[in-house]
């Protein structure tokens, strides 16, 4: 298994063919599928295979990504790629972090989740930091239990009200450093070039292809 930052030392290469994307989040599946496009990979979503969503019991992004990838690979008999990602807000001590999806509730209402984040920051007072970062862990697993993990990050700041209708999740309230627009306003191709998921994916590509 690779270390937390996936130092380009994957033991096993990923061959062209079918790959299960171990996620039931349509936006996440679409984004990963677009990143995989140039590599001869045929992405199949876990939802289309009726695979269950495992309980995310890990204490790190990588641990959660690994358990999702390993379950999908085991149940499908195919290699599987899982993502665990989240928004970490400095003023909230790193929350929502691992619980980013849970803050959106059972209906995955990220409008509600963004409001909860902003209310939490506002409650810290006018001098509270608006700094935040996204983390993405990718785990690539095979049916025999082999797994590789890669982690990426992008830093930025919170903006309010949310801006833009592109992306998904917390994207409309996150403005990456060096940009004057939010991920929610950013063209997908531009986001793919510099997001936390792109950072993790670049590490995966360097190792697995």
Catalytic residues: 84
Closest by CA to 88, choosing from 25, 165, 174, is 174
Distances (CA, A) of 101 to 1, 3, 38, 74, 105: 26, 25, 29, 24, 7
| Length of the chain counted residue by residue | 209
In the beta sheet, which residues pair with residue 151? 137
Is the distance from CB of 37 to CB of 60 less than 8 angstroms?
no
């Amino acid at each position: 298994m690779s270390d937390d930052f996936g130092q380009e030392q994957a033991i096993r290469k990923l061959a062209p063919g079918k790959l299960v994307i171990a996620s039931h989040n349509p936006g996440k599946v679409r984004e990963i599928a677009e990143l995989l496009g140039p590599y001869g990979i045929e992405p199949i979503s876990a939802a289309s295979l009726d695979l269950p969503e495992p309980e995310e019991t890990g204490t790190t992004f990588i641990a959660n990504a690994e358990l999702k990838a390993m379950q999908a690979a085991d149940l499908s008999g195919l290699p599987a790629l899982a993502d665990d990602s989240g928004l970490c807000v400095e003023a909230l001590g790193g929350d929502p972090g691992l619980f980013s999806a849970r803050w959106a509730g059972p209906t995955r209402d990220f409008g509600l989740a963004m409001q909860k984040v902003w209310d939490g920051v506002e409650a810290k007072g006018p001098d509270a930091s608006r700094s935040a970062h996204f983390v993405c862990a990718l785990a690539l697993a095979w049916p025999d239990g082999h797994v590789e993990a890669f982690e990426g990050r992008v830093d930025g700041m919170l903006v309010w009200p949310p801006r833009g209708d592109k992306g998904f999740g917390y994207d409309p309230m996150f403005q990456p450093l060096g940009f004057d627009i939010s991920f929610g306003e950013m063209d997908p191709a531009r986001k793919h070039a510099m997001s936390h998921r792109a950072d993790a994916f670049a590490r995966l590509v360097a190792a697995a292809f």
